[in-house]
Amino acid sequence: MEKILSLTIQTTESNPIVEGFAQTRQLTYQQTILCSVVIGIAGGLVATAYYYVLEACLHFVWHTLPDFITPKFPIGFSPQNYIWIVTTIGGLLVGLTLRFMGLPGEVSMVVDKVHDPGLIEIRQTPAMIVASLFSITAGGSAGPEAPLVQIIGSFGGWLGKKLKVTLVSARVLTFCGMSAALGAFFGAPVGGALFALEIPHRRGLEYYEALIPAILSAILSFFVFRLNTGLEIGAIYHFGAVPTLELINLVEGAILGVLGALVAILFVVLFRSIGHFSEHIRHHIILLATLGGLSIGLIALVFPQTLFFGEKEIETIVETGSQLGMTMLLMIAFAKMLAICCTLHSGFRGGFIFPLFYVGAAVGFAVSLGVPQIHPTIAMICMMAAVNVAITKTPISTTVILSVLSGTAMIPVIAIASFVSFLLTIQVSLIKTQRSRSFLE
């Protein structure tokens, strides 16, 4: 009897009542599927709107505005100064948003809320939308995947509240929203859904009951997003063709997994070091964000490749890596890591998946130049996977996503690199809120 009472108390503590949330009924499987359809379609529409607004902002700030004001620059004023001015102003706007609209949270917060209580509050969405648009437009090394995950994921929780379902069902709907966001953004719906389900944990996917609804939401969101934007389906990078895979390539994948783990450990050390320095002005939100924007701009003056979150910039590495040379590629990779750290620690809102992919691509190409026996495509994709997996703990989804984005039949090699990196960095954690689920629900 005491044991039963103890379990009841633990269950109540691990699954508290959320303010304004009435736990009345569990969704049936058919109802869950119906809700996942609604969330997927809505997610695709939200992702479409966000995409067009972001593209308009980027085009205005980095194309229209420079073309308009360049002739008006005073004599002796270098157009390069436009970069650090824009990033600094962007940082100021981010700081003002956070100061007056509130802190919308970040990846760690999303992961924490998914576990307990099981949903993301939608009231944080306006601040996240504004702050992330300023952050990405200003050239910060953070992508739109994290804002979209929070925005659409919170819609799933909101729908659960409106339907007055249990928090267990609401969590599934939250996962559907997160999957819809990543399915649209990555262009790989299955990989996006798996990523949403893997990232709350350090040792593999555990909320298995959300798998089918999450994939369905991701597929529908992907369809709606691609239909509205007209973006191509399939690979977005044009890597060099890889010869038929041999056993030696699997060994290369394992070695690249080790190297990727080492790069990720270096990134974590750098991230924590910069976090230690920024801690002194953590409460001065506006100042911190402004200095962060200035830092991003100054880094970009030396390494302009570090601007933005890296999705399109990876193609530049593919095309020009051999001209840049091994030393320059390694310097760019380190500068990009520094830019990511400054971006995230200064309050800029966005995700670090594509920035980490960029770091891996740069280091991978450098490895192929130093060891010509390793094909550049194998080196780049395996390093992209290994670096990202070491940080996010998502070996399955990362393998699927990169196989789609690269348009290559390299799943065995990518998987080996991913899992070697994953196993070597189990004790290394950047997202502190990742943990095992509670089965007392």
pLDDT reported for residue 406: 84
Q: Do domains 12-229 and 247-424 have the same CATH topology?
A: yes
Any bridge partners for residue 143, and if so which?
A: 351
Range 123-149 average pLDDT: 92
Q: Could you give the percent of the chain with pLDDT greater than 70?
A: 92
CA–CA gap between residue 311 and residue 300 (Å, rounded): 16
Range 315-321 average pLDDT: 89
Residue 21 has pLDDT above 70, yes or no: no
Q: What's the distance, Cα to Cα, between the start and end of the chain in Å?
A: 19
pLDDT tens-place string over residues 50-89: 999 999 999 999 999 888 777 766 655 677 888 999 999 9
- pLDDT grade, residue 99 (50/70/90)? very high
CA–CA gap between residue 174 and residue 23 (Å, rounded): 16
Q: Which fold has domain 247-424?
A: Clc chloride channel (1.10.3080)
The pair of structure tokens assigned to 356 is 């980490």
Range 178-195 average pLDDT: 93
pLDDT tens-place string over residues 160-181: 989 988 988 999 999 999 999 9
DSSP 25: B
Helical spans, DSSP H, in 60-205: 65-69, 81-101, 107-115, 125-137, 145-163, 167-186, 189-198
Q: Could you give the percent of the chain with pLDDT greater than 90?
A: 65
Per domain, the residue ranges of the chain are 12-229, 247-424
Max Cα distance, the chain (Å): 84
pTM confidence score: 0.90
Reduced to 3 states (helix: H, G, I; strand: E, B; else coil), residue 11 is helix
Positive or negative: CA dihedral 402, 407, 412, 417: negative
CA–CA gap between residue 166 and residue 54 (Å, rounded): 35
Residue 9 has pLDDT above 50, yes or no: no
Residues belonging to the chain: 441
pLDDT reported for residue 107: 86
* Mean per-residue pLDDT of the chain: 89
- pLDDT grade, residue 441 (50/70/90)? low
pLDDT tens-place string over residues 124-135: 889 999 999 999
pLDDT tens-place string over residues 191-221: 999 999 999 998 889 999 999 999 999 999 9
pLDDT reported for residue 365: 96
Any bridge partners for residue 165, and if so which?
A: 25
Reduced to 3 states (helix: H, G, I; strand: E, B; else coil), residue 396 is helix
- pLDDT grade, residue 189 (50/70/90)? very high
Q: Residue 306 in contact with residue 299, Cβ under 8 Å? A: yes
**Class in CATH terms, 12-229:** mainly alpha
pLDDT reported for residue 2: 40
CA–CA gap between residue 113 and residue 118 (Å, rounded): 6
Residue 323 has pLDDT above 60, yes or no: yes
Average the pLDDT over each of 79-83, 145-149, 325-329 and give the range with the smallest value. Answer: 79-83
